[in-house]
Amino acid sequence: MLEREKLINLKFLLALIISIVNGFVDIPAKADEYEAICNSRECIVKVKEGLISTPYGSIKSSRMTSWPLVVETQPRMLGFLGEKDKYTFNLNGYDQDGKKKSLNIQFINDKPAKKFIRNIETVSGLGLGQRRSAKEIRENETLDKIRNTNIKVDNSKISECISEVGASRKSKISLEIFKEKEYLKNFFNNSNAYAVFPDVVKGGMGVGGARGGGEVFQNCKAIGSTTMTQLSVGFQLGGQAFSQIIFFQNQKDTDRFTQGNFEFGAAASAALLNEGASAEAAYSDGVVVFTLSKGGLMYEASIGGQKFSFSPYEK
């Protein structure tokens, strides 16, 4: 009987030691898997480079918008062991189909929670407490598309640039949209340089003003910033914004612009090309201008009175 009691006591002591150790140490099933609580139930959370998934849904790591953390202090099962923390994460974002998702994930121990934080920061590029808007996600995915385009760079042809060196995020996105227009390829191929204005904001209903900032590109490189102002405008789809690109035919035309104080005459208007048109819009005095509405529609906007300043970037 004594031997049996000793065996029972030994088993109880062993179970107690294991319980204590488990309170401080938690080893995930795999390097990218965590034992957690999802929606109040035990679950496995998988964290991979492109996806964070639970049995209740998944979020693309690049499409995470926020992931706030709440820490609650709870007493341990045995009072003399002190207190422990419960970590609750709410991961918000979009899944592979673009649907909004919110994942509720809890950890009882701090070790897996801290590892989870490091892992999420690495795969999502979003720090704990930071936020990312849907607009930023779209811009990032557009830039990824640009980077992944397998095109050889030839410095003599601007149109073959994968991504213009030194360009701002907005300029790159705007250029990608313009380059999707098949009938503009000849201008990208043969122009000496070009200036792009991603966001030109104007007054409404035909009379008012317009202003927009942009960049000038030559030989696959941003060479300077430019600002456009316009005191009065013609019909411009009243009150909306548009994007504008100016192609310069020869070096002397580029030089006229980069010297500053460049201006369009009162009667000037942007060229209008229809999809599939075979003829290029004619250069006028070495310059041709195209404008796109934010919906991607090319239209003939009045650019009369536009004035431009130019500031070169450091070489």
Give residue 30's pLDDT. Answer: 42
pLDDT tens for the chain, residues 1 to 315: 545 555 445 544 554 444 444 444 444 334 489 999 998 899 999 998 789 999 999 999 889 999 998 888 765 555 445 556 789 999 999 988 888 899 999 998 888 888 998 888 888 888 888 888 888 888 777 766 665 554 333 333 334 455 567 788 889 888 988 888 887 888 888 899 999 999 887 765 445 678 889 999 998 889 999 999 887 644 544 556 788 999 999 999 999 999 988 888 876 766 655 444 434 556 888 898 888 876 656 666 678 888 999 999 886
Give residue 154's pLDDT. Answer: 39
Residues 6+ apart with CB under 8 A from 299: 237, 270, 272, 291, 292, 293
Maximum CA extent, the chain: 110
Cα(178)–Cα(163) distance, integer angstroms: 13
CA end-to-end distance (rounded Å), the chain: 90
Cα(31)–Cα(27) distance, integer angstroms: 9
- Nearest 5°: the CA angle 298, 299, 305 is 120
The kind and range of the H/E element at 1 are none
pTM, two decimal places: 0.48
Give residue 295's pLDDT. Answer: 65
Cα(43)–Cα(161) distance, integer angstroms: 47
122 φ, ψ to 5°? -70, -50
Other beta carbons within 10 angstroms of residue 283's beta carbon come to 16
Which one-letter amino acid corresponds to residue 117? I
- Per domain, the residue ranges of the chain are 26-132, 138-312
Give residue 301's pLDDT. Answer: 67
Query: Which tens digit of pLDDT belongs to each residue from 170-194?
Result: 898 889 888 888 878 888 888 999 9
Cα(315)–Cα(304) distance, integer angstroms: 33
Other beta carbons within 10 angstroms of residue 106's beta carbon come to 18
Cα(234)–Cα(106) distance, integer angstroms: 59
Give residue 208's pLDDT. Answer: 60
CATH architecture of the domain with range 26-132: Roll (2.30)
Give residue 27's pLDDT. Answer: 41
